[in-house]
Amino acid sequence: MADTTTERGSTSRGNIFKTLEIDTRLLGMVGAFVIVCLMFNVLTDGRFLTPRNIFNLTIQTVSVAIMATGMVFVIVTRHIDLSVGSLLATCSAMMAMTQTVWLPQYLGIDLGSPLIAPLAIVVGLLTGAIIGGFQGYLVGYLAIPSFIVTLGGLLVWRNVAWYLTNGQTIGPLDDVFQLLGGIAGTLGTAGSWVVALIAVVAACFAIWSARRSRIAHEFPVKPVWAELLIMVIAAIVILGFVYTLNAYAVPERVLARQFEASGQTMPEGFTQGYGVPFSVLLLIAVAVAMTVTARKTRFGRYIFATGGNPDAAELSGINTKWLTVKVFALMGILCALAATVASARLSFHSNDIGTLDELRVIAAAVIGGTALAGGLGTIYGAILGALIMQSLQSGMAMVGVDAPFQNIVVGAVLVLAVLVDIIYRKKTGAA
């Protein structure tokens, strides 16, 4: 939000990043991510950076990344939410019971009805919002520390989920619902290119209109070549990502089965790419919505103000208690979305769904540069943090590192990332 470049446009020619006004911290994280990927690619003889693995990595990251965007707001307001993994389980249990038991038995809406998936998701979102809002009420209005409220929630909601399902695994889930799981629902190549082009146009338009608005107010702007360069980089990233996901081909026997099912024979040499999964589209939509919320809405402004100085926020007329309720309710809604993706990916609800996710989510936000002291954090950082964590985990699994040692490395990386961040902030003098 607050870019720290100074007024005078005379930034030294030597520092290209300064002219581009790219966040050096973002650059550092991207650098770390690239190094992790290249390292595992070498260690696995090139198996890490295949379209297939990148596709899998992406869909594995979605659930944690969705929650991490909400955790940014929670941590920015100087709170913490330890209950997200358990809340995910409760939302997942509610949605699984809704679609397999409650709707068919009590409302006569049978499995296979197009109403099942949307109704189940609405139930899940309401569950998340109500539970999250309730926890926010305890924190905001009753002044119980969020650490305690959500530590309690960690135990409570995990076991509420257990009671909802009597400890059973619930499945298989509705077919339409499963489309949000990842590989079961993708856009296909053509659709993915369309989305990519729309994204490129939108990115360029956003950059350009921000510039126009600054010019209209006679503020200093970046040189045109810098704006163009950023547009080109954005386009390359978007198109490259979609190209990679499109390059992951649907296995031949899966295609053959599809043709059989529709009573046709598959043409010789027919191939088809998966393209962008719906779950990834959901994550992108969440990321955009949360970024806009953080930067462009009063709600977002108040979240950062409250994190920076709660007393000042209160004295400026911000209702910080109600704000806390809203932040936790939003976190709950995002848990429900993550629950949709996670259970759809499994194709059933299981008791241990989301176990330890609270740690992954908090780690993703913190690795992504969210300061536990409050007031600082970015949505893209948290998503990148989730991606780095997932890459480490999958990479080590592919290399054949023992599971216990994987956790040792991930834990150490978390602490190291925060240390690097502290040193970076001291060096740059950033708050």
Partner 1 sequence: MAKTPIDRSGTPLVEMRDISIAFGGIKAVDHVSLDLYPGEVVGLLGHNGAGKSTLIKCLSGAYKQDSGEVYVNGEHAQIENPRDARDYNIETIYQTLALADNLDAASNLFLGRELTNALGFVDDSAMEAETRRIFQRLNPNFRKFNAPVSALSGGQRQSVAIARAVYFQAKILIMDEPTAALGPQETQMVADLIQELKKQGLGIFLIDHDVHQVKRLCDRAAVMKNGELVGVVNVDDVTTDDLLGMIIAGKKPGVAAA
Report the interface residues with partner 1, using CB under 8 A.
Answer: 1-8, 213-214, 216-217, 219, 292, 296-298, 301-302, 304-309, 311-319, 375-376, 429, 431
Residues 135 and 110: their CA atoms lie apart, in Å, by 34
Nearer to partner 1, 102 or 322 (CB): 322
Residues 61, 65, 71, CA angle at the centre, nearest 5°?
150
Nearer to partner 1, 134 or 424 (CB): 424
Q: At what angle do helices 51-76 and 357-367 cross, to 10 degrees?
A: 80
Residues 370 and 75: their CA atoms lie apart, in Å, by 7
Q: Report the nearest approach of partner 1 to the CB of residue 376 (Å).
A: 6
Q: Report the nearest approach of partner 1 to the CB of residue 296 (Å).
A: 4
Nearer to partner 1, 209 or 258 (CB): 209
Q: Report the nearest approach of partner 1 to the CB of residue 317 (Å).
A: 4
Give which of 386, 353, 377 is closest to 23, Cα–Cα.
377
Q: How far from the centroid of its chain's Cα atoms is residue 138's Cα?
A: 26
Q: Report the nearest approach of partner 1 to the CB of residue 132 (Å).
A: 24
Nearer to partner 1, 257 or 298 (CB): 298
Q: Report the nearest approach of partner 1 to the CB of residue 345 (Å).
A: 34
Nearer to partner 1, 196 or 376 (CB): 376
Nearer to partner 1, 5 or 105 (CB): 5
Question: Is the four-CA dihedral 95, 98, 101, 103 of positive or negative sign?
Answer: negative
Q: Report the nearest approach of partner 1 to the CB of residue 313 (Å).
A: 6
Residues 335 and 290: their CA atoms lie apart, in Å, by 14
DSSP 335-401: HHHHHHHHHHHHTSB-TTTTTTHHHHHHHHHHHTT--TTSS---HHHHHHHHHHHHHHHHHHHHHT-
Q: How far from the centroid of its chain's Cα atoms is residue 107's Cα?
A: 34
